[in-house]
Amino acid sequence: MEEGKKSWSGLSFVFKDDVHKKEVLEAAFDYRGDVTVQLRGGKTLAGYLFNRQLDRFPYFVEMLVAGEDSPRIIPFEEIAALSFSGRDAADGKSYEAWKAKKEKERKEEAKKIESEMKKAGLLD
């Protein structure tokens, strides 16, 4: 999604075609939360999609599936649908928000130091 747009969180997709599927899988790769993949046979897998190969054959994605010890490779042709089921850890965390938070922390620290110096008689 473009900056300023709604988060992917909570959205679900049943793919229209392979181009649409690739676009959604690319977005899932960039997403910093869990996704749920529905396979062609109806089985669902929930977890973190951390790798993909969509630019050359064979197409696939790799997921850290909840409850499994090893990453799972999922062939492209087995994927029927995808939901952005987990909260995006990066949602709303822009650089501007980070700067504002750090500025507030610096001001609070400066007030604390000033108060300590006054108590020590170093400032009036």
Give 69-102 as a DSSP string.
SS-EEEEGGGEEEEE--S--TTTT--HHHHHHHH
User: Do residues 109 and 65 share a domain?
Assistant: no
Q: What is the pLDDT of residues 18-69, one digit of tens each?
A: 999 999 999 999 999 999 999 999 999 999 999 999 999 999 999 999 999 9
User: Do residues 58 and 100 share a domain?
Assistant: no
Number of domains in the chain: 2
pTM above 0.75, yes or no: no
User: Do residues 23 and 77 share a domain?
Assistant: yes
Its domain, for residue 117, covers 92-123
User: Do residues 47 and 81 share a domain?
Assistant: yes
Whether the pLDDT of residue 90 is over 90: the answer is no
User: Do residues 74 and 102 share a domain?
Assistant: no
